[in-house]
Structure 1
């Protein structure tokens, strides 16, 4: 039986042989980062496989590199930086192509590396959403992190701003959620 966050009710989160605890904090930004601040740019297509906790990702770097991976996220329903367990499996192009034939909800975005943040600028019906995340290896790092001033609001504990939820979100709902945080994106 699953809870509203997609996690298994009553399940404790423990790292396993292949899974690790995912610690991240998420923030809304009013706009994309200045190009001069960006160290790497990725074009990302996420395919959330229908009926599963699996995400298939194609991430293409601006320099021509490409990363293909299958990710399982087992979320926890508790506040704070620990988001749950994450397991990544890196794929060959043939493995990716086979899995990409499965039914999925698709989300596209551009990720800008602006250390210490990864800043996602979304496309399609999520255009206007700029979401930053910072990842941590310890609880202490996560708790002591002071977000840069361009972070308008923290949404770490707002499940609406997770990829699995955003991929199913209507444009109207997104605009309403952003307005709750005082953001009204201008779309070119």
Structure 2
């Protein structure tokens, strides 16, 4: 059941016919990884459609390929790796272009695949934020995961470090949040 704020009610989240349970843990890193260490690199532009729980994503791979998709995330208000329900729809260029004409807040980042992590290095007012995410199939996998030492702090339960919140974040706010975790990126 969905509540008025757009989240999932109750203590458990179950996969549906079209939506899957999203399990991920997020960690702050002090610096971006070396691009040569990544198995795949993508430049991602996320458009958070105003007044919705929808995200329009354009992910351009270093090999010239491009993935276009519309995602709905229905969050759950529980601590831990279960973030809620996620549904993805893959789009044609024409479908993407039509949806991209809608009002949206835009977030840009480079994503480096460094299994088990996807490491996001943000641009614009979020420059200096390096966020590693690991996704899991089961609750047990998520709970037993031991992060490597380069993970400065876990921010899985800190809603400030979700895309929907980051897209609205000012540079001064970001710097304050990072300082709370002992990180002080350059201000340039």
Please classify the TM superposition score into its range, dividing by the shorter chain length. Answer: over 0.9
* Pair 1:175-2:179 in alignment: no
Answer whether contact 2:126 2:174 (CA < 8 A) is retained: yes
How many angstroms does 1:186 deviate by?
2.0
Q: What is the match of residue 186 of structure 2?
A: 186
User: What is the deviation of 1:149?
Assistant: 1.2
| Aligned residues: CA RMSD | 1.4
Contact kept in structure 2, 1:42 and 1:112, CA below 8 Å: yes
4+ residue stretches of structure 1 with deviation over 4 A? 8-12
Alignment: residue pair count = 186
Specify the SS of the correspondent of 2:160: helix
Name the counterpart of 2:50.
Answer: 50
| Structure 1 length-normalised TM | 0.95
Distance across 2 between alignment mates of 1:103 and 1:11: 34
Offset of residue 95 of structure 1:
0.2
* Residue in structure 2 matched with residue 132 of structure 1 by the alignment: 132
Structure 2: segments with no counterpart, 5+ residues: none
CA distance in 2, matches of 1:25, 1:49: 24
Aligned to 2:67: 67
2:4 to 2, 21, 45: 2
Q: In the alignment, which residue of structure 2 is the partner of 1:37?
A: 37
Aligned counterparts, 1:101-140, within 5 A: 101-140=101-140
Distance 1:152 1:132 in 2: 10
Mapping for residues 140-159 of structure 1, pairs under 5 Å: 140-159=140-159
- Structure 1 gaps of 5+ residues are none
Preserved CA contact (<8 Å) 1:2 1:9? no
